[in-house]
Amino acid sequence: MVALVSRSLAALDADVTLAQFRALVLLAGHGPQRSTAMARELQVAPSTLTRMCDRLVRKSLVQRFHRGHDRRSIWLALTPAGRDLVGTVMRARRRELERIVVASGLVASPPAVDLLHDFVRAVGELPDEEWWRRWEASADPVDGAPLMGVHRQADGAWA
């Protein structure tokens, strides 16, 4: 699966690492995230996530923002360009998987499909239909309001 994603990213010349793409997929499937929660989910240090997101923000794939009146927490969300990149790569991966299944002669019987859905849920992922519903809304404004940008100031503080 990693090789499929890697080939899809390379074919797009997306200039996104696999770790960065995993962060984009997390945002696409789970919506806006607090940076601390996202670092835990990706099993990286908060400083590593900050550097990763600095690059994704520069590429206009992710946006930082504050939610409501809480100025302490930094939230992360996909931009429309980030959502589109994830969708393009996921569709390419799906086409490649379909090609592999057809070439191997495997038959997608209902019990086999149910087993795969159970496996997907067991590893904490979303079934395909739910994932795509969430992907569709992943770059929508938060709480009905446009995202308020957050950027790093010259002194390193967030504003």
Query: Can you list the domains of the chain with their CATH numbers?
Result: 2-137 (1.10.10.10)
In this prediction, residue 81 carries a pLDDT of 93
Q: Are 115 and 127 in contact (CB under 8 A)?
A: no
Which parts of the chain sit beneath pLDDT 50? 144-159
DSSP 99-153: HHHHHHT----HHHHHHHHHHHHHTTPPPHHHHHHHHHHTTSPBTTBPPPB--B-
Q: Are 5 and 89 in contact (CB under 8 A)?
A: yes
In this prediction, residue 125 carries a pLDDT of 79
In this prediction, residue 142 carries a pLDDT of 62
Q: Taking the model in full, what pTM does it have? A: 0.79
C-alpha atoms less than 13 angstroms from C-alpha of 119 in its C-beta half-sphere? 6
What six digits make up the tokens of 25?
């997929």
In this prediction, residue 40 carries a pLDDT of 95
Measured CA to CA, the distance from residue 115 to residue 105 in angstroms comes to 18
Q: Are 64 and 149 in contact (CB under 8 A)?
A: yes
The model's pLDDT over 106-117, given as tens digits with 9 standing for 90+, comes to: 777 888 878 888
In this prediction, residue 157 carries a pLDDT of 44
In this prediction, residue 15 carries a pLDDT of 86
Measured CA to CA, the distance from residue 12 to residue 10 in angstroms comes to 5
In this prediction, residue 78 carries a pLDDT of 94
Residues 6+ apart with CB under 8 A from 10: none
